[in-house]
Structure 1
Amino acid sequence: MHKSLAIALLAADFLACATAHGAELRGHGGPVRAISVAPDGKTVATGSFDTRTIIWSLETGEARDVLLFHEGEVTAVAALPNGRFASAGADGRIAIWQTGRGEPAQILEGHTGPVADLELSPDGSMLASASWDTTVRLWPLAGGLARVLEGHRTNVNALAFLADATLVSAGYDATVIFWPSQAGAPPVRAIMPTPLNALARASGDRLLVAGADGQLRLLDRTCDE
């Protein structure tokens, strides 16, 4: 699954390219904070400062669902298996949506600060969330208690999964943390020279990290730096 481009702030009124029917996408009422494309490439979810999550058809250019749940801006969205999407907000809550339904199929609560990023595990069974409450949480989508990962000192801003299912988080404390998939195993930390805002897997064990100093850095887990 491709990582959602959750760090972009897009124009509030965005229009689709002309389609065969001349359709245009109906714009959000505020800046768009997050976007995630479904694995089939036919549907996309957007989250906005206007508190709405919109599910769009990329084939027709129409909004399939306009979803209201969060108290405040929607800060992250993620495409999930079986036509579902997740949205997260400044209210610290995560909603799981089934396309065509106006109410959340599931609500995940536990964070005490805004959720900055969402990431689906490679096998599609777990949803990871990063929050400004300094924690990362791993939610089993089949149900059950979340695994709470504590190690950052300030806001956790971004997440990525490596191919072997290792979860990686980046925070404003300038730290990248590699969380092992086995509970109880110690995490591995890499200290960067700047507070971090964004993270993406490049290939294999390599990651791209970016932060407050405006630079993009390539981080390789196999290097002893």
Structure 2
Amino acid sequence: MAVGYLDGIVILWNIDDDESRILAKHTEQVNMVTFSPQGTMIVTASADNTVKLWDLNGDLLAHREYQSAAYYVSFSPDGRLIAIASMTENHAHQIELWNHNNKYQQILKGNFDSLVMSIVFIPDSDILASISHEQTIRLWNTVDGSLLQTIEVNNNFSITAAFIYCSSQNDNSAIAVANSENRISLWSLSIEELLSNSTNQIRDYTNRLTQSS
């Protein structure tokens, strides 16, 4: 287990023998830590405007610098790409794709004004999905960075936490959200439904959840 702290320290903790050690350190608070799918690397996002990639010995493998705080990171299923959510100088939010092996980087088209709550690469596809604080789901093409679909749920409340899960492009995606009304909702829609004009469908689905609870 890896844990990031407000003072910038990242601790690697072995839960089997209850031993821990300092893996790395940022100069400001750590906003997110995640392991690569293979479990051989850790990527950290920090308020010091950097994203850093480490091996499990604490050696720095690569890093990126941003205009403002980086706060969300997610590996692609093969571990080659890292999606990074950060703020810009004018306080907009953006998502960048970074390949640490060949230094490739691409900012996804369509900056937005709301915090990114969850990012996931859809396995066996070239699609990345995100959901933001104002309940907007976005789908991007990871090859050219184009925005494929924007879906606004618009239920007059904000998201306080979110998680997107999808095992493959052909399966339904599960989107769990906790909102400012202390309600947790689970949406289940296929990628095809999300790529179609699904705004009304998602709104109807969430309304049914509200009415039945």
TM-score bucket (shorter structure): 0.7 to 0.9
| TM-score, normalised with respect to structure 1 | 0.70
1:129 and 2:70 aligned? no
Which of 154, 164, 168 is the aligned partner of 2:124?
A: 164
The residue identity in structure 1 corresponding to 2:158 is P
Map Cα deviations across residues 116-168 of structure 1 (whole Å, 9 max, x no partner).
22111011110111224410011102131311014223222321122234211
Q: 1:191 to 1:149 in 2, by over 3 A?
A: same
Q: Is the 8 A contact 2:54 2:60 kept in 1?
A: yes
SS at match of 1:222: helix
- 1:184 is displaced (CA, Å) by 5.3
Residue in 1 that maps onto 2:174? 207
Residue 138 of structure 2 corresponds to which residue in structure 1? 177
Larger proportion of helix: 2
Identity %: 20
1:47 and 1:54 in contact (8 A); partners too:
yes
Output the CA distance in 2 between the equivalents of 1:185 and 1:100: 37
Tell me the equivalent position of 2:103: 144
Per the alignment, residue 25 of structure 1 pairs with: none
Structure 1 residue ranges without an equivalent (≥5): 1-43
Distance 1:163 1:82 in 2: 18
TM-score (norm 2): 0.74
**One-letter amino acid matched to 1:161:** F
The 1:116/1:207 distance shift into structure 2, 3 A limit, reads farther
The structure-2 alpha-carbon separation of the partners of 1:124 and 1:66, relative to structure 1 and needing over 3 Å to count, comes to closer
Q: How does 1:4-19 map to 2 (within 5 A)?
A: none
Counterpart Cα distance in 1 of 2:2 and 2:146: 35
Q: 1:109 and 1:84, CA in 2 relative to 1: closer, same or farther beyond 3 A?
A: same
Q: Does 2:29 align with 1:61?
A: no
CA deviations over 1:19-66 (Å, ceiling 9, x no partner): xxxxxxxxxxxxxxxxxxxxxxxxx21112232111122332111434
Q: Distance in 2 between matches of 1:199 and 1:131?
A: 18
2:70 corresponds in structure 1 to 115
* 2-structure distance, mates of 1:198, 1:56: 25
Residue 219 of structure 1 deviates from its aligned partner by 4.3
- Contact kept in structure 2, 1:157 and 1:171, CA below 8 Å: yes
Q: Which moved more, 1:87-96 or 1:190-199?
A: 190-199
Whole-angstrom CA distance in 1 between matches of 2:128 and 2:145? 14
